[in-house]
A and B are shown apart, each in its own frame.
Chain A
Amino acid sequence: MTHTGRNKIQNKGVAITGMGIISAIGNNLDENRISLLSSTSGIGDLKHIHSKQASQIKVGEIDFTNEQLIEILELPKENNFTRTALLGLIAAKEAVANANLTIDKSIRTGFISATSVGGMDMTERHFKEFQTTSETQKYIASHHLGDGTQKIADELGITDFVTTISTACSSAANAIMLGARLIKSGKLDRVIVGGTDSLSKFTINGFKTLMILSDEACTPFDANRKGLNLGEAAAYLVLESDEFVEKHDKKVLARLSGYGNANDAFHQTASSETGEGAFLAMQKALEVANLSASQIDYINAHGTATPNNDLSESVAIQRIFYNSIPDFSSTKAFTGHTLAAAGAIEAVFSVLAIQEQSIFPNLNFKTKIPETGLIPTTVLKHKHIEHVLSNSFGFGGNCSTLIFSKA
């Protein structure tokens, strides 16, 4: 039903006028672009966190220490920014500069950020000292997920609509979706949307207990995949109303034309065999964009490289695209799985794919999964790209899909 074979006329979608990113493959947009075009992965050994698991895992870690980030951001030495907030501020500032924004109270500007870790990187260090050691007490208030968002909004001068979303690994896709709906409905003129998550002992050990961490660089969609690599990152997009874009003659990088959110309602952590949630999310996104499946030129898959996700996602992709599967790849072998930030990281990569008219490779793939036989794009491929579909799925059955289209 989704696959009509006939091209539809795409909904105009919401204008994207700026982007910012920091990840294991680069500290800004250009560095990320260069790494993607040169197939340079950011996966390596854990450096900043002292963990017993260090020798058994690979991660996508950002080189900067917290102290370096504080210096770059010119924050006062005495602050209670957590790493999640620091990374978020770097990327959010780049997005604002990239879109040439001046935050002005006369324009209703929102900020919607996603995170799953929040202030955990500091909480896990000081948890047992909060009651007794006064130097650590400043991090009590920075534990909850909204704190980092508020700090970033304050630094950007946004006092209006500010909120935080957390639906595990689909969080940032949902933040982007909410922002787009607020622009479409006219509630906001512009909104900065995305997500940030830092690595933490908490998540490293958590994923370890699920036995889904690989001790090697991850191999998405490979038959012999051993699990995921965790990563840390932050990325934001600037969305603006068409009225505003026209009035200020703003350059549009790409458009967010479709979005879908569905729940797998199968299991707290595992995805269903039929990939029902993923299927429904993709179907909904195509519907909102008013596109047929055959119009998608590239899928930036969730592709975490866990046995469960990649099989379930492959099945869902086959249910949507039948025998004409578009080029697809997971970029998690570049950045690691950046949890709540992943949807935003891959939104930026989707827009870069449109700008570069290139499909970024699915690194480390060798053997196709026998059940589905899907083969991702494994080397950089130049082609005409109009529409990119990006998937993000999380614990709790949360499945979200975004579609990005050429401006």
Chain B
Amino acid sequence: MTELKTELKEKIIEILNLEDISISDIDDNDALFGDGLGLDSIDALELIVMLDKDFGIQLTDPKEGKEIFKSISVLAAYIDAHRSK
């Protein structure tokens, strides 16, 4: 699980071009959207594609992302339970 969390942080930094942020800056329970990292709806769509491409998880409604992308911990748990890759 710790490994997956680190992998996710790396991916998020890379995909979303978060140049000035390093893995240690993101706490497992930090809010990714809103006041936390300050990500927005476009970032959510980027992450939805990542779920599909890298973990074989397909979301059809962008609203589902809201819960899943709450924090790294929540996201990692969701992937762990649903992944097909």
**A→B interface (CB under 8 Å):** 209-211, 267-270
> Whose C-beta in chain B lies nearest to the C-beta of A307?
B63
Mask: chain B, 12-53; 1 = CB below 8 Å from A; 0 = not: 000000000000000000000000000011100100110000
Residues of B within 8 A of A269 (CB): 41-42
Q: Whole-angstrom distance between the alpha carbons of A268 and B49 in the complex?
A: 19
Q: Write the nearest CB–CB distance from B10 to chain A, whole angstroms.
A: 22
* Contact assessment for B42 and A268 in the assembled complex, using a CB-CB cutoff below 8 Å: yes
* Contact assessment for A209 and B45 in the assembled complex, using a CB-CB cutoff below 8 Å: yes
* Contact assessment for B40 and A211 in the assembled complex, using a CB-CB cutoff below 8 Å: no
> Whose C-beta in chain A lies nearest to the C-beta of B49?
A209
**B→A interface (CB under 8 Å):** 40-42, 45, 48-49, 61-62
- Name 5 interchain pairs, CB-CB below 8 A, sorted by A: A209-B45, A210-B45, A211-B61, A269-B42, A270-B41
Residues of B within 8 A of A210 (CB): 45
Q: Whole-angstrom distance between the alpha carbons of A267 and B61 in the complex?
A: 20
Residues of A within 8 A of B40 (CB): 267
Q: Whole-angstrom distance between the alpha carbons of A209 and B41 in the complex?
A: 12
The B interface is mostly helix, strand or loop, or mixed, namely helix
Residues of A within 8 A of B62 (CB): 211
Q: Write the nearest CB–CB distance from B6 to chain A, whole angstroms.
A: 27
Q: Whole-angstrom distance between the alpha carbons of A210 and B65 in the complex?
A: 13
Q: Write the nearest CB–CB distance from A73 to chain B, whole angstroms.
A: 40
- 10 more A-B contacts (CB under 8 A) besides A211-B45, A269-B42, A270-B41? A209-B45, A209-B49, A210-B45, A211-B48, A211-B61, A211-B62, A267-B40, A267-B41, A268-B42, A269-B41
Q: Write the nearest CB–CB distance from B47 to chain A, whole angstroms.
A: 12
> Whose C-beta in chain B lies nearest to the C-beta of A268?
B42
Q: Write the nearest CB–CB distance from A111 to chain B, whole angstroms.
A: 36
Residues of A within 8 A of B61 (CB): 211
Q: Whole-angstrom distance between the alpha carbons of A210 and B42 in the complex?
A: 8
Q: Whole-angstrom distance between the alpha carbons of A210 and B43 in the complex?
A: 11
Q: Write the nearest CB–CB distance from A268 to chain B, whole angstroms.
A: 7
> Whose C-beta in chain B lies nearest to the C-beta of A210?
B45
Q: Write the nearest CB–CB distance from B40 to chain A, whole angstroms.
A: 7
Q: Write the nearest CB–CB distance from A210 to chain B, whole angstroms.
A: 6
Q: Whole-angstrom distance between the alpha carbons of A100 and B13 in the complex?
A: 60
> Whose C-beta in chain A lies nearest to the C-beta of B40?
A267
Q: Whole-angstrom distance between the alpha carbons of A211 and B62 in the complex?
A: 7
Q: Whole-angstrom distance between the alpha carbons of A269 and B62 in the complex?
A: 15
Residues of B within 8 A of A270 (CB): 41
Q: Whole-angstrom distance between the alpha carbons of A211 and B59 in the complex?
A: 10
Q: Whole-angstrom distance between the alpha carbons of A355 and B43 in the complex?
A: 46
Q: Whole-angstrom distance between the alpha carbons of A270 and B49 in the complex?
A: 19
Q: Write the nearest CB–CB distance from A280 to chain B, whole angstroms.
A: 22
Q: Write the nearest CB–CB distance from A34 to chain B, whole angstroms.
A: 37
Q: Write the nearest CB–CB distance from A8 to chain B, whole angstroms.
A: 40
Q: Write the nearest CB–CB distance from B31 to chain A, whole angstroms.
A: 19
> Whose C-beta in chain B lies nearest to the C-beta of A209?
B45
Q: Whole-angstrom distance between the alpha carbons of A268 and B40 in the complex?
A: 11
Q: Whole-angstrom distance between the alpha carbons of A51 and B62 in the complex?
A: 23
> Whose C-beta in chain A lies nearest to the C-beta of B48?
A211
Residues of B within 8 A of A211 (CB): 45, 48, 61-62
Q: Whole-angstrom distance between the alpha carbons of A52 and B54 in the complex?
A: 20
Q: Whole-angstrom distance between the alpha carbons of A209 and B49 in the complex?
A: 9
Q: Write the nearest CB–CB distance from B18 to chain A, whole angstroms.
A: 17
> Whose C-beta in chain B lies nearest to the C-beta of A212?
B62
> Whose C-beta in chain B lies nearest to the C-beta of A308?
B41
Q: Write the nearest CB–CB distance from A213 to chain B, whole angstroms.
A: 12
Q: Whole-angstrom distance between the alpha carbons of A209 and B42 in the complex?
A: 10
Q: Whole-angstrom distance between the alpha carbons of A209 and B44 in the complex?
A: 11
Q: Write the nearest CB–CB distance from B63 to chain A, whole angstroms.
A: 8
Q: Whole-angstrom distance between the alpha carbons of A295 and B42 in the complex?
A: 39
Residues of B within 8 A of A267 (CB): 40-41
> Whose C-beta in chain A lies nearest to the C-beta of B59?
A211
The 9 closest A-B pairs by CB, nearest first: A211-B62, A270-B41, A211-B45, A209-B45, A210-B45, A269-B42, A267-B40, A268-B42, A211-B48
> Whose C-beta in chain A lies nearest to the C-beta of B65?
A211
Q: Write the nearest CB–CB distance from B7 to chain A, whole angstroms.
A: 23
Q: Whole-angstrom distance between the alpha carbons of A268 and B61 in the complex?
A: 20
